[in-house]
Structure 1
């Protein structure tokens, strides 16, 4: 039985490391950048035109499906996001064997596991939108479900604190350019600088957005109001603050930079 399990494990590992999966992962990373460009555009509209459009991944998918061949493009994104999820899952299980420190290896594997979940969720949301089922309210529905559990408010509050910590970590990663660790950056000096600067600005901008989402999740737990959770709620809440349109505009530019960085990441990440 042990031999069969090992054979199955080797087969799964080969499949996750296959050329189609790796090519699909690069396309998926680039697609992730595209969705961030769209979210940035939607956020700028919220900031400066008062638009009530959804400024999150769901809003980006809805914008895509309204374009010619948009439904076909969304299905292609589903496949690409699934490829990234599979690649990240392979990293979470077998990756980073070259790292000597056990703690570092565990941290990197945990990070990859989290990213695998993110891209799996994106694949599901894109599929739901492409199938005509919409995809809105995912964050709010999840929050509402957790709030309905025993001690749900404490669970949601803890999740919110974890999201805030993730946002802070993302900002720190941008400031220290630690995101470059998994990349083989180009030798061309100009391209290298653009990749690094877009990554720095993008990680800081995205980290701020994630941090605001975390704060709103904590508030949702305290007030028992799940509709206050999510990226869309966070960006609209930011726009409602004094000088909010400028703050939201700055965050949108950060998300725009992150989208640009994803195109470099798709090309130069070690996949």
Structure 2
């Protein structure tokens, strides 16, 4: 039975996008774990990509990441424009759809970074993309307040991930089948781990606005670095890397089994429904 409307074409774009997102987290978390086991530190996205650049078939993987991130960006923009996941047009729905546009553009930037490494040599690290963006914003009129607002919005997004994990709200977007039921606890852990990372990044951004220093803003690599300085830091870093591997699994499961309300059969049983019946 056809889905609601004529949006069937959006589903393969969505699945490609989530597959690309899964690949990104698999690469970053996998390389981070390898580094930790060998006495190193967790890796930022850019440093993980730079390591991948010199690996066998690394540039093929980088190009696949670019394709996936491009698809994810297109999916998010289409999702927001056509409200494919039925968030609505009230205040909360509009905020959710704006957030889709922002996350789409962020992932497009990640994809472009991967593509550049396919054709050019790595610069070997340097300032993170978030720090560079923070520096640009701080130079705007009222930039400190704009950056602080961005930081608080990022913290809010992190809390949203946490709420989604705590209440298992992600279940309503997934098909209920043996795969999703079996791995549900890992999916929950992955969403929670992503929420932690996003929240800490948001705190970094707010702090950068407070001290008026773009270098205080940072991304995943800075989260790993901050954790490593805590008691039992190396263990915490390893646990977070494992959690992000779970988030890679979450993205992969979404690639295979995510439900798009306006493009899927309305009779498909969700993971939420499957657990409700079993309960």
Give the Cα–Cα distance (whole angstroms) in 2 for the partners of residues 105 and 150 of structure 1: 30
The worse-fitting range, judged by mean Cα deviation, of 97-106 and 60-69 is: 97-106
The CA deviation string for residues 110-145 of structure 1, in whole angstroms up to 9 with x for no partner, is: 343233223222222222222226485211110111
Conservation of the 8 A alpha-carbon contact between 1:177 and 1:199: no
Q: Out of 216-225 and 39-48, give the one that drifted further.
A: 39-48
Q: 214, 220, 231: which is aligned to 1:226?
A: 214
Q: Which has the higher helix share?
A: 1
Kindly state the Cα deviation for residue 36 of structure 1 after the two structures are TM-superposed: 1.1
* Moved beyond 6 Å, runs of 4+: none
Distance 1:238 1:139, change over 3 A: same
* Aligned residue among 172, 180, 205 for 1:181: 172
Query: Higher mean Cα deviation, 25-34 or 139-148?
Result: 25-34
Q: CA deviation at 1:109?
A: 2.5
SS at match of 1:184: coil
CA contact (8 A) 1:27 1:266 kept: yes
Shift of 1:52: 5.2
C-alpha displacement at 1:27, in angstroms?
2.8
Residue of structure 1 aligned with 2:233, choices 219, 244, 249: 244
CA contact (8 A) 1:177 1:196 kept: no
Taking structure 1 as reference, are residues 101 and 22 closer, same or farther at Cα in structure 2, changes over 3 Å only?
closer
Q: Which runs of 5+ in 2 are unaligned?
A: 261-279
Distance in 2, matches of 1:120 and 1:89, equals 11
Alignment of 1:61-140 (within 5 A): 61-96=49-84, 102-103=90-91, 105-132=93-120, 134=122, 137-140=128-131
Q: Does 1:167 align with 2:158?
A: yes
How big is each residue's C-alpha offset from its partner over 1:213-270, in whole Å with a ceiling of 9 and x where there is no partner? 1111122222333223222112111111222222222222211111112111110012
Residue pair 1:97, 1:105 contacting (<8 A) in 2 also? no
How far apart are residue 104 of structure 1 and its match?
Answer: 5.3
Instruction: Give me the whole-angstrom Cα distance separating, in 1, the residues matched to 2:119 and 2:13.
Output: 21
Aligned residues: 252
TM-score normalised by L of structure 2? 0.79
Match status 1:60 vs 2:48: yes
Tell me how far 1:193 sits from its aligned partner: 2.5
The 5 Å alignment of 1:18-37 reads: 19=9, 22-37=11-26
Query: Contact 2:88/2:94 (CA < 8 Å) preserved in 1?
Result: no
Instruction: Tell me the C-alpha RMSD between the 2 structures.
Output: 2.7
* Structure 1 unmatched runs, 5+: 1-12
With normalisation by structure 1, the TM-score equals: 0.81
